[in-house]
Amino acid sequence: MKHKIIIIIAVLFCSMSNYCQAQSINWAGLKEEHRHLVNLQLGIDYGVIYGLGYSYHLKSKLPLLLNAEFSIPSGNKFFDDFKTKIGAHAKLFKMNNIAVSLNINGIFRRYENTLVSLSNFGGSGNIIIGYYSPKWYVNGEFGFDRAIVTHFEHKDVYKSNFPDVKDGWYETTGGNVQFGMQIGYSFDQSDIYLKGGKTIAQDFKTSPTIPIYIQLGYNLKLK
């Protein structure tokens, strides 16, 4: 019961906040008895990002973690911009030390500046192929993040310039592809990892203002 309450609180907390890319897991270091993973991150991903995540390791035949993540970018205003993710990360295939995993997430994120507030529902999928040993791991990831539907609410200053602007829900407003590498070191109940790669728009031609992502992260595995 106590565990259930902790999980519910953690999931609720995480779902109210936000984060970036695929969760980094050392599959070789993840033991059956590790039920909870708490994750902290710092990185560059559409800005300077701070993130917090939680994963619950299911007792299932297919190694599977349910995860919730929350991240915020730096800035003077807290919570005007944030991203939340809820999803699952499964190890699909394993041969010796090589494993292939898939991380799928539903996303809710928000952006606000002096002209507009955007609220977006999106989805992301990452496939990760790597070499895993109990002490360290290295892998490559390829992911896609799509802004599926976005609500635009313009501020008075925008409307004073363009009174006919149409607020409301807009269909697919964007998508970016990310590909890169992760390296991690595992010790005791912890993983520390570094990941980085390139971000490019879905047309594979245009790049965001920061065309790369970098993340330093820490996982704490609890029974």
Partner 1 sequence: MYRNKLLSSVLFLSIFVFSCENEMKIDEPGNLVPKTVDQDSSLPSIVINEAKLHAETFGNPNNPIIFILHGGPASDYRYLLNCKEFADNGYFVVFYDQRGTGLSQRFPRSYYTSIQTSFDDLSSVIAYYRKSPVQKIFLLGHSWGAMLAGAYINQYPNAVNGAVLAEPGGLKWKDIEDYVKRSRKMDITGEALNNALYMDQFLTGKEDEHAILDYKYKLLASTGDENENVGNEGLLPFWRPGFILQDVYFDIIKKENSDWTTHLDQFSTKILFIYSERNKTYGVVHAQKVSSPFPNVQLFETKGAGHDMLSFPTGWNNTFPVILNYFNTLK
Which residue ranges make up the site for partner 1 (CB under 8 A)?
A: 46-48, 73-77, 81, 83, 109, 111, 113-116, 118, 120, 145, 147, 149-150, 152, 157, 161-162, 164-166, 168-171, 173-176, 199, 201-203, 205-206, 208-210
Return the exposure string of 114-134: e unless at least 16 CB atoms fall within 10 Å of the residue's CB, then b: eebbbebebbbebbbebebee
Sign of CA pseudo-dihedral 11, 52, 184, 125: positive
Would you say 67 or 120 has its CB closer to partner 1?
A: 120
Residue 59 C-alpha from the chain's centroid: 23
Would you say 65 or 147 has its CB closer to partner 1?
A: 147
| The residue type at 19 | Y
HSE (side-chain half, CA atoms, 13 Å) at 130: 26
CB of 102 vs partner 1, minimal distance in Å: 21
Would you say 49 or 65 has its CB closer to partner 1?
A: 49
Would you say 32 or 203 has its CB closer to partner 1?
A: 203
Give the Å distances, CA to CA, from 73 to 79, 110, 120, 210.
9, 11, 16, 14
Residue 137's φ and ψ, nearest 5 degrees, are -155, 155
CB of 179 vs partner 1, minimal distance in Å: 16
Mapping DSSP to helix (H, G, I), strand (E, B) and coil, where does residue 177 land? strand
> Distance (Å, rounded) from C-alpha 103 to C-alpha 139?
14
CB of 118 vs partner 1, minimal distance in Å: 5
CB of 13 vs partner 1, minimal distance in Å: 21
CB of 141 vs partner 1, minimal distance in Å: 17
Would you say 31 or 155 has its CB closer to partner 1?
A: 155
CB of 187 vs partner 1, minimal distance in Å: 30
Would you say 10 or 118 has its CB closer to partner 1?
A: 118
The helix (H) or strand (E) run that includes residue 2 is: helix 2-15
**8-state DSSP, 20:** -
Residue corresponding to tokens 């800005």? 47
> Distance (Å, rounded) from C-alpha 68 to C-alpha 87?
6
